A and B are shown apart, each in its own frame.
Chain A
């Protein structure tokens, strides 16, 4: 049985991301309760998206490039070719022609791979391919031992684990994604870049507070951090006020 729900793929994705309007949402809900295919699809996308969000550190960690990684890729393509080969044989194609074609493609692929490898050595990490402002967000840089050692002696304000800092769920989700970069990896530069986006978008005081901590750990941005903390000293929320004063005190102590 195949489901013919109109715009099914887009609808499932939009449903998972809570982007459908209420009518479309209700119509789709009534449908996937009946349709086995759509129900599986919804659960797949929901689980996948949530895993990427919560376990991104595992999902997106790049393993070191093996010298023979191309063999795995080749094997993948050979599997696909063998499927199409079987199809061609089934439809009465010439065995010799198809086999010859497969061998030719294998040799050409291997040749072009070595040629590219020899003329243009690939960068070690994807971070090098990203624009400079963004390169700091790639996980490889955060594992740089010198960077971690350097940042360990600096100001650190513990990220509250259980405390829900805001009622805005979207903001909270994004803060949660930054939390490991800030709290575990202590990569203040990367966390600062992400928090700067949040501060622009939401003007939330919680994100400003941790942005200030990140900036205070980068010498060239210390004055910006102090300015941010000065504004937070007048915050209506007492916990932010206290934390801002705490960090300011640490900063001035550091200067002395």
Chain B
């Protein structure tokens, strides 16, 4: 009943987020989104190194200056507000430099050092922890994860090599990651590596 009322209030479409716990947009909230803004700019706009720091800084500054204008009109989420600012700053950045680049493929490991990972040591630490957790998963899952993510095989190729149906490979892949996530959630060491 509560959800029905919530849907009516916010005219949400079915399949969209129904956990509408809208946070208050203030300086603290904006500051807490810094890492996400950086990740978003990296993933979506292919911005690296010093440029990434500069655009992130400009985005945060613009967001601080204009959060007073945020009114949640037409049920706009604060996330959309912040994304709008980030996109605008990124576009201005590219216009000044006369180039335009948007990512069309997943991030690569080499690019993630210094932006998603602080340094190589952090990545090594995560690798060691993941190895421990993977040892607790059934071997089929580990095999599929290894072939898909490490060896870079497509699901079809993995299915052919392991004599499995393609949908089974997809299930092993996504279930494997979910199981890994559950195992990691129980481990307090992992919490320091995320957010």
Contact in complex: B110, A34 (CB < 8 Å): no
Cβ–Cβ < 8 Å partners of B149 in chain A: 49, 52-53, 56
A190 to chain B, nearest CB (A): 10
Q: Is A58 a contact partner of B128 (Cβ separation < 8 A)? A: yes
Bound CA–CA A9/B178 (angstroms):
8
| Complex Cα spacing A3 to B18, Å | 8
Among A10-18, A94-102, A217-225, A244-252, the one that faces the other chain is: A10-18
Within 8 A of B (CB), among A39-56: 39-56
Within 8 Å by CB of B112, from A3, A9, A50, A130, lies: A50
Tally B residues with Cβ within 8 Å of A: 66
CB <8 Å contact, B79 and A176: no
Inter-chain contacts of A130 with B (CB < 8 A):
143, 161-162
A59 and B131 contact, Cβ closer than 8 Å, known pairs A35-B19, A131-B163: yes
How far apart sit A48 and B36, CA to CA, in the bound complex (Å)?
16
Give chain B nearest CB distance to A163 CB in angstroms.
13
The smallest C-beta distance from B158 to any residue of chain A, in angstroms, reads 10
Contact of A59 with B130 at beta-carbon distance under 8 Å, contacts A32-B79, A54-B123 already known: yes
Pair B19/A47 contact, Cβ less than 8 Å: no
Contact, CB under 8 Å: B36 / A33: yes
Q: Are A56 and B146 in contact (CB under 8 A)?
A: yes
Distance of A59 Cα from B129 Cα, bound (Å): 8
Q: Is B119 an interface residue (CB 8 A)?
A: no
A4–B123 touching, CB < 8 Å: no
Contacts of B44 in A (CB 8 A): 29
Question: Which residues of B lie under 8 Å from residue A63 when comparing CB positions?
Answer: 135
How far apart are the CA atoms of A43 and B82 in the complex, in Å? 18
Quote the shortest CB–CB distance from A159 to chain B (angstroms). Answer: 14
Q: Are A126 and B151 in contact (CB under 8 A)?
A: no
For B79, the chain A residues whose CB sits under 8 A away are 29-34
Chain A: minimal CB distance from B91 (Å): 15
Q: Give the distance in Å from the alpha carbon of A173 to the alpha carbon of B139 in the complex.
A: 25
Q: Do A51 and B36 touch (CB < 8 A)?
A: no
Question: Considering the chains assembled together, what is the distance between the CA atoms of A31 and B151 in angstroms?
Answer: 32
Closest residue of chain A to B103 (Cβ to Cβ) is A18
How far, in whole Å, are A76 and B137 apart by their CA atoms in the complex? 11
**Looking across the interface, which residue of chain B has its beta carbon closest to that of A31?**
B17
Given A18-B105, A33-B83, A137 and B151 contact (CB-CB distance below 8 Å): yes
Give the size of the chain A interface in residues (CB under 8 angstroms): 65
Distance in Å from the Cβ of A71 to the closest Cβ of chain B? 13
Q: Which of B78, B117, B152, B174 lies in contact with A34, CB distance below 8 A?
A: B78
A185 proximity list for chain B (CB < 8 A): none
Could you tell me if A172 and B108 are in contact, using CB atoms closer than 8 angstroms?
A: yes
Name the A residues within 8 Å of B43 (CB-CB): 46
Which of B18, B130, B145 sits near A4, CB closer than 8 Å? B18
* A108 on the B face (CB < 8 A): no
The 6 A-B residue pairs whose C-beta atoms are closest, nearest first, are A54-B109, A33-B79, A56-B150, A169-B105, A55-B127, A52-B149
- Apart from A34-B79, A39-B195, 17 more pairs, CB < 8 Å: A5-B16, A5-B17, A10-B174, A13-B177, A29-B40, A31-B79, A34-B78, A43-B195, A50-B116, A50-B123, A52-B150, A54-B123, A55-B127, A56-B150, A133-B161, A169-B105, A177-B152
- Measuring CB to CB, which residues of chain B are less than 8 angstroms from any residue of chain A? 14-19, 21-23, 33, 35-36, 39-40, 43-44, 77-80, 82-83, 103-110, 112, 116-117, 123-124, 126-128, 130-131, 134-136, 139, 142-143, 145-146, 149-153, 157, 161-163, 174, 177-178, 180-181, 184, 193-195
Residues of chain A at the chain B interface (Cβ within 8 Å) = 1-7, 9-10, 13, 16-18, 26-27, 29-36, 39-56, 58-61, 63, 72-73, 76, 126, 130-131, 133-134, 137, 169-170, 172-174, 176-178, 194, 197
- Name 15 A/B residue pairs within 8 A (Cβ), A-sorted: A4-B19, A5-B18, A33-B36, A34-B78, A35-B19, A44-B184, A46-B107, A50-B107, A50-B123, A55-B126, A59-B127, A60-B134, A72-B135, A169-B104, A172-B108
